[in-house]
Amino acid sequence: MSDIDMKRKRTDLLMKRKDHSEKEKALLKKIKTEHSLFRCKMLLCPAEELYNSCRMICFYECLYEYFRYCEKINVDFIHASNKEEWILEQLWNLYLENEYLKADTWDEIESILKAYADMKPPQTENNDTCGQTMPIL
């Protein structure tokens, strides 16, 4: 088994914290994929650009660690992000837009997830809005 295969296997095992709901499994898969793409992008950057992106890298790594190890992810966040793509990027943009948000501890990350869930309209299984127009956020 190559080093890459061993790292993938170890990462897959780390992501398996407990039994997950289908929505949570889908969320974790998206987070893992987005993190991998972000990591590759950063590793290909010139040194100056990499240096200038240090806070963003730290943010992505902190959130990725949270999703890997947290035993109970906010259910409202799982529902709000269920049909979304580029979740980490959306959380980064939310973080930049709100100077009161921090991302250095799990409690602070949970505040970001709560703010994200609060800004999204509630989603139903079939996205039925009962004929109502949903505001664009």
- Crossing angle of helices 106-119 and 87-97, in 10° steps, is 100
CA–CA separation, 70 vs 72, rounded Å? 6
Q: Residue 128: pLDDT above 70?
A: no
Question: What is the pLDDT averaged over residues 77-106?
Answer: 95
What's the pTM? 0.74
Distance from C-alpha of 137 to C-alpha of 126, rounded to nearest angstrom? 20
Question: Is the predicted pLDDT of residue 86 greater than 80, yes or no?
Answer: yes
Name 108's Cβ contacts closer than 8 Å, sequence gap at least 6: 101, 102
pLDDT band at 132 (very low <50, low <70, confident <90, very high): very low
Share of the chain above pLDDT 90, in %: 69
Say if residue 135's pLDDT is above 60: no
3-state helix, strand, coil split of the chain in percent (to 5) is 65, 0, 35
* Residue 17 in this model has a pLDDT that exceeds 60: no
Q: Which of 17 and 1 is assigned the larger pLDDT?
A: 1
Cβ atoms 101, 115 nearer than 8 A = yes
